């Protein structure tokens, strides 16, 4: 991979030289500027990946440069470097889109740790983009976001079953993406240019399911003033997706079984059978084997639908996909809401990565959508998450029972270090202790590594 391009913008030449020498050894391509205007001219020609920016420059205010950088390249990560110890300036910079804030005199170990975090964020964003580009030729798969082993196995199974004209049963909890899997199978199948018709079997009467799926002839019942083509017929040559198949009434299960066996339907009030050429993909969050045992689902229909079964993992079983999903939904809703939300703060991401997500991906999407809509900054912070998730952050500190004062102190210092992205200057300010005391405690508690 090409080196990340890093701009150091500081009116002190010695700072530029010192940081440049240290970070060049870390594998960055360095360019240094002591004047804001010359940096912006270079930025316009070829945007940098990362900028170390002094807030106080002789010609242009650092916050103004930050605004211009983000307008030129929203993906450029900016780290503010300043001699000011004003927390207000730090908050304003971060709200303006800065990745983080460093107080002079700059500590090289601190900068290296922060650069590691920036690299990880950029690498994650590029991996997300690479995955979507790689899947662009497989239109259906591009909607399923993830890079975990479970998702790779799911992709492999979808690719294998899609070209085979057999019925498929998709099983998974609510919000795991069953409809996305059904569409992916259709898009990768020979029927991709034919209709894809979806119907939710839950919560409808026999009569409504009957008329929606099979259609009816004019005059078949009171109110049938015109012939209606049912969804099964409308999907001719394509795919029918029957969601919540476990909720289908038994009487309708008999009719569906007949359709699968005979490949024909009869409209309500009709006398002439209509030939069908459809593939059926059914989905359920129930265990249909159990439903068969208790008599709420027909065994013969189960076997007809269950030619191939695809089991979808819960989100809690593929936590490594949460950062990718979060960034995907941030991009989606930033565009939808016309907002410039470029990412998520590490502390907020940690909360999401440790949450159980009983509602799976759908719940995560709802949380991120809400956060993007409500945030006042350029990044989602813990304060933008729902209150119950913010409470979880504090519960984890108390979840192991009563602790010694020393153990409590260690955990709290580790928590603040993580929340500040290991910025020891800001951490010391939050803890209200001298930096020398913080360094001693970090060493004593073994908190040197993130």
Kindly tell me if the per-residue pLDDT of 61 is higher than 80.
yes
- What pLDDT, on a 0 to 100 scale, did the predictor assign at position 400? 47
Kindly tell me if the per-residue pLDDT of 396 is higher than 60.
no
pLDDT band at 394 (very low <50, low <70, confident <90, very high): very low
* Beta sheet of 168-171, edge-to-edge order: 196-200, 239-243, 279-284, 168-171, 308-311
3-state secondary structure the chain: CCCCEEEEECCCHHHHHHHHHHHHCCCCEEEEECCHHHHHHHHHHCCCCEEEEECCCCCCCHHHHHHHHHHHCCCCEEEEEECCCCHHHHHHHHHCCCCEEEECCCCHHHHHHHHHHHHHHHHHHHHHHHHHHHCCCCCCHHHCCCCCHHHHHHHHHHHHHCCCCCCEEEECCCCCCHHHHHHHHHHCCCCCCCCEEEEECCCCCHHHHHHHHHEECCCCCCCCCCCEECHHHHCCCCEEEEECHHHCCHHHHHHHHHHHHHCEECCECCCCCEECCCEEEEEECCCHHHHHHHCCCCHHHHHHHCCEEEECCCHHHCHHHHHHHHHHHHHHHHHHCCCCCCEECHHHHHHHHCCCCCCHHHHHHHHHHHHHHHCCCCEECHHHCCHHHHHHHHHHHHCCCCCCHHHHHHHHHHHHHHHCCCCHHHHHHHHCCCHHHHHHHHHHCCCCCC
pLDDT band at 86 (very low <50, low <70, confident <90, very high): low
pLDDT digits (tens, 9 = 90+) for 293-344: 999 999 999 999 999 999 999 998 998 899 889 988 998 898 889 888 878 8
Average pLDDT, the chain: 85
Q: Give the residue, 49 or 436, on which the prediction is more confident.
A: 49
Token pair recorded at residue 350? 């940690």
- What pLDDT, on a 0 to 100 scale, did the predictor assign at position 347? 80
Calculate mean pLDDT across residues 59-64: 88
What percent of the chain stands above pLDDT 70?
91
pLDDT digits (tens, 9 = 90+) for 207-262: 889 888 998 888 888 888 888 888 999 998 999 999 999 999 999 999 999 999 99
Kindly tell me if the per-residue pLDDT of 399 is higher than 50.
no
Calculate mean pLDDT across residues 201-210: 85
Calculate mean pLDDT across residues 330-359: 86
Calculate mean pLDDT across residues 163-175: 94
- What pLDDT, on a 0 to 100 scale, did the predictor assign at position 99? 84
Where is average pLDDT lowest: 123-132, 165-174, 232-241, 291-300?
123-132
Predicted TM-score (pTM) of the model is 0.62
pLDDT band at 397 (very low <50, low <70, confident <90, very high): very low
Where is average pLDDT lowest: 92-96, 268-272, 329-333?
92-96
Token pair recorded at residue 211? 């008329």
Calculate mean pLDDT across residues 267-284: 91
**Residue 228 phi, psi (nearest 5):** -120, 130
Kindly tell me if the per-residue pLDDT of 450 is higher than 60.
no
């Amino acid at each position: 991979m090409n080196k990340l391009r890093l701009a150091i913008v500081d009116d002190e030449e010695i700072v530029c030289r010192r940081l440049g020498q240290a970070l060049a050894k870390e594998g960055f391509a360095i360019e240094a500027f002591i004047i804001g205007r010359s940096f912006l001219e270079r930025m316009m020609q070829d945007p940098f990946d990362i900028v170390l920016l002094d807030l106080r420059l002789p010609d242009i205010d650092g916050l103004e440069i930050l605004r211009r950088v983000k307008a030129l390249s929203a993906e450029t990560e900016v780290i503010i470097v300043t001699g000011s110890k004003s927390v207000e300036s730090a908050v304003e910079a971060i709200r303006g889109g800065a990745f983080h804030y460093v107080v002079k005199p700059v500590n090289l170990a601190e900068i290296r740790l922060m650069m590691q975090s920036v690299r990880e964020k950029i690498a994650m964003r590029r991996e997300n983009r690479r995955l979507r580009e790689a899947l662009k030729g497989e239109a259906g798969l591009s909607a399923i976001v993830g890079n975990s082993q479970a998702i790779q196995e799911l992709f492999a199974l979808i690719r294998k079953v899609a070209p085979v004209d057999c019925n498929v049963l998709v099983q998974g909890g609510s919000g795991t993406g069953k409809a996305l899997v059904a569409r992916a199978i259709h898009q990768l199948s020979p029927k991709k240019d034919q209709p894809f018709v979806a119907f939710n079997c839950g919560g409808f009467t026999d009569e409504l399911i009957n008329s929606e799926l099979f259609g009816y002839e004019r005059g078949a019942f009171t109110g049938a003033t015109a012939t209606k083509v049912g969804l099964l017929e409308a999907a001719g040559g394509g795919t029918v997706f029957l969601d919540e198949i476990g909720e289908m009434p038994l009487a309708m299960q008999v009719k569906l079984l007949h359709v699968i066996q005979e490949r024909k339907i009869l409209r309500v009030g009709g006398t002439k059978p209509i030939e069908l050429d459809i593939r059926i993909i059914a989905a359920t969050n129930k265990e249909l084997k159990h439903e068969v045992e208790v008599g709420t689902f027909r065994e013969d229909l189960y076997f007809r639908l269950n030619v191939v079964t695809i089991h979808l993992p819960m989100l809690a079983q593929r936590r490594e996909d949460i950062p990718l999903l979060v960034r995907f939904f941030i991009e989606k809703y930033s565009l939808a809401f016309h907002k410039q939300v470029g990412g998520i703060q590490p502390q907020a991401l940690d909360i999401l990565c440790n949450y159980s997500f009983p509602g799976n991906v759908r719940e995560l999407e709802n949380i991120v959508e809400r956060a993007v809509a409500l945030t006042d900054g350029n990044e989602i912070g813990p304060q933008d998450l729902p209150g119950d998730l913010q409470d979880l952050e504090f519960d984890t500190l108390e979840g192991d029972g009563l602790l010694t004062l020393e153990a409590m102190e260690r955990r709290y210092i580790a928590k603040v270090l993580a929340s500040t992205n290991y910025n020891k200057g800001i951490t010391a300010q939050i803890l209200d202790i001298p930096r020398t005391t913080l360094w001693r405690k970090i060493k004593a508690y073994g908190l040197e590594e993130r």
